[in-house]
Amino acid sequence: MPLPPLLAPLLREAFTVHDRLHLLDPAAFELIAPRVRGIAASGESKVGAELMDRLPALEIISVMGVGYDGIDVAAAKARGVVVTHTPDVLNDDVADLALGLMLAASRRLVAADRHVREGLWPAQGPMPLARKLSGARLGILGMGRIGQAIARRALAFDMTVAYHTRTPKPEVPYPHVASAVELARQCDVLCVITPGGAATKHLVNAEVMNALGPQGLLVNVARGSVVDEAALIEALEQGRLGAAALDVFEQEPQVPERLRALPQVTLSPHIGSATTATRQAMAGLAVDNLKAKASGQAVVTAVPEYKRVIQN
């Protein structure tokens, strides 16, 4: 992917930048590789051990995004390379989008827009009745920074909130549920906001979808890998799951035709953090991490794998 427009000028101002040279001109890349000290990556970037091995002077991989499941953190650690990300600054945007998708799916806002725009209103009369969101039971899968921001917004809609994580979070006032399936059974709307990666791959499987049921709504603003997309298509086609609202997909930017064909699905192209203000903040933090490392300071936001456990 090309450098994000808000990141490129900040990077070029402070560093010598080689934009995807390893892919675009491998011969030229070989010449500069021994001097590369940092990688600027996006949340979707893949940085594996093989690339790191070609960069002996590498000190830091700075991800502009909170999710860093494309980075081989163990390989980076083994080589003394720090990995940083941009948590917190995007909580509001992702949580806003989660609520937006819940509203869009429940009130069928995309179809409603079409109803007016395409002249169906005078031709066919009013739309079929939609589903009420206020007061619904919300299950949140993942109760970290963004999950908590989603929960706070849901309370303003008089929704009840429960959640599932591997370990209960004593700092939040919502009930912890022991499994994803049990959470799905107990809620009307299931919102996925865990990290991606191997540990959460297909956490939302057919069993979870069946538990959410024919009236249930699945919202995913996390990573496409967390939801079994093939199982999702089948559950929706067969009416075992009511509806889905998705910002992320397993093979972005490809979205299966069968999924796109379903009217009970609301889709957006991975825009969770895609506002100018938030992308500016993310770019600023990503560059601050690079600058800190380049000048021998402690980085601002290392990924949790680097945080030392301090024992009293």
Residue 245 CB, shortest distance to ligand A2R, in Å, is 15
Please state at what angle helix 91-107 crosses helix 109-117, rounded to 10 degrees.
60
Residue 226 CB, shortest distance to ligand A2R, in Å, is 8
Strand order in the sheet with 82-84: 38-42, 60-64, 82-84
Is residue 200 part of the contact set for ligand A2R (CB under 6 A)? yes
Q: Which positions from 259 to 288 touch ligand A2R by CB under 6 A, shown as an x/- string?
A: -------------x----------------
Which one of 51-59, 101-109, 199-207, 288-296 is the stretch in contact with ligand A2R (CB under 6 A)? 199-207
Distance CA 299, CA 288 (A): 8
Token pair of 35 as six digits: 């001097």
Which one of 5-13, 109-117, 194-202, 234-242 is the stretch in contact with ligand A2R (CB under 6 A)? 194-202
Residue among 86, 106, 194, 301 that touches ligand A2R (CB under 6 A) = 194
Catalytic residue (choose from 223, 229, 250, 279): 223
Distance CA 218, CA 212 (A): 8
Q: Quick one: how far is CA 84 from the chain centroid?
A: 16
Residue among 18, 195, 213, 274 that touches ligand A2R (CB under 6 A) = 195
**Total residues at interface with ligand A2R (CB under 6 A):** 24
Alpha-carbon torsion (95, 100, 105, 110), positive or negative: negative
Is residue 78 part of the contact set for ligand A2R (CB under 6 A)? no
Q: What is the length of the chain?
A: 312
Indicate the residue among 97 and 136 with the shorter CB distance to ligand A2R. 97
Residues 6 or more apart whose Cβ sits within 8 Å of residue 201 = 225, 226
Is residue 63 part of the contact set for ligand A2R (CB under 6 A)? no
Question: How many C-beta atoms surround the C-beta of residue 49 within 10 A?
Answer: 12
Residue 205 CB, shortest distance to ligand A2R, in Å, is 12
Residue among 4, 142, 224, 242 that touches ligand A2R (CB under 6 A) = 142
Residue of 100, 93, 174 whose CA lies nearest to 141: 174
Distance CA 92, CA 149 (A): 7
Is residue 308 part of the contact set for ligand A2R (CB under 6 A)? no
Residue 203: strand, helix, or coil: coil
- Report the site for ligand A2R in 85-104 (rule: CB under 6 A): 87, 94
Contact 142, 193 (CB under 8 A): yes
Which one of 47-55, 120-128, 192-200, 255-263 is the stretch in contact with ligand A2R (CB under 6 A)? 192-200
Contact 121, 172 (CB under 8 A): no
CA distances from 272 to 89, 91, 193, 215, 247 (A): 12, 9, 11, 25, 7
Residue among 124, 167, 276, 295 that touches ligand A2R (CB under 6 A) = 167
Residue among 14, 31, 49, 199 that touches ligand A2R (CB under 6 A) = 199
Question: How many C-beta atoms surround the C-beta of residue 63 within 10 A?
Answer: 27
Active-site residue flag, 50: no
Active-site residue flag, 223: yes
Catalytic residues: 223, 252, 270
Q: Which residues bind ligand A2R (CB under 6 A)?
A: 66-67, 87, 94, 142-147, 164-167, 193-196, 199-200, 203, 222-223, 272
